[in-house]
Amino acid sequence: MRLFVALDIPEEAASYLEQVQSSLRQEINADRWQSLHNLHLTLHFLGEVKEALIPEIQEDMDIVSAITKPFRLRMGNLGAFPNEHRPRVLWMGLRGHTEALKQLHLLLGRRFELHPGLSFDRREYSPHITLARGPKSGREGLPLADWDERLLQKEPPHWQVNHIHLYQSELKREGAVHTIIHTSTFEKDHSKKQAVLE
């Protein structure tokens, strides 16, 4: 099964992203504009996972969630990977309690490390939502600061994060279909047993 762990993006924030993406389409061309349907914020992409491992991944999520307090996020500024002068990806960043988000990513990674053969990204986490791949920039690069000023709201949507999901991703002819197969709620004792994170 092809799996990933992610947070929900609420409808208000998703609508805001669609408005920003629509405005950007008037500014530049891109190889591909990211679909914002069924939007989520990925914490860990696990790839193909043996079904026998799924209960252990779910328990890992429950253990980490039990010691995680709810936190707030809001939409941030525009950015590009690797940078605005040679952009391959155009994205929207996040603000708010991003340290709590990064800590959640780190603790999940420490649990996942305990499973030989489980593949996940060990690079430093840079939370973002992809808007476009292969954006076309001129000699000056992408005018990110100008777009932030002209296209973004002064008070963008914000929301509280209370849980994480384990998704199954199925690649179909019409595109990827994501199905939630497990949810872990923060500060909830899922297992009725004490667990200590080393």
Per-residue pLDDT at 117 = 85
Q: Tell me, what DSSP letter sits at residue 138? A: B
Per-residue pLDDT at 191 = 58
The percentage of residues in the chain with a pLDDT greater than 70, rounded to a whole number, is 95
Taking the C-alpha atoms of residue 66 and residue 188, their distance in angstroms, rounded to an integer, is: 5
Per-residue pLDDT at 121 = 83
Note the CATH number of domain 2-185. 3.90.1140.10
- Return the bridge partners of 183, or none: 165
| Distance, C-alpha 163 to centroid of its chain | 13
Angle between helix 11-25 and helix 144-151 axes, rounded to 10 deg: 120
| Higher-pLDDT residue of 31, 117 | 31
Stated pTM of the model: 0.88
pLDDT in tens, 162-173: 999 999 999 887
Mean pLDDT to the nearest integer, 152-157: 95
Taking the C-alpha atoms of residue 189 and residue 186, their distance in angstroms, rounded to an integer, is: 9
* pLDDT(175) > 70: yes
Mean pLDDT to the nearest integer, 60-67: 97
12 close to 126: Cβ distance less than 8 angstroms: no
At 68, is the pLDDT very low, low, confident or very high (cuts 50, 70, 90)?
very high
* pLDDT(195) > 50: no
Mean pLDDT to the nearest integer, 24-48: 92
* pLDDT(192) > 90: no
123 close to 146: Cβ distance less than 8 angstroms: no
Per-residue pLDDT at 112 = 96
Per-residue pLDDT at 198 = 45
- Terminal Cα distance for the chain, rounded: 29
| Higher-pLDDT residue of 85, 193 | 85
- HSE, CB side, 13 Å, CA atoms: give it for residue 65: 24
Per-residue pLDDT at 193 = 46
Which tokens go with 10? 């609420």
Q: Which residue has the tokens 């973002």?
A: 128
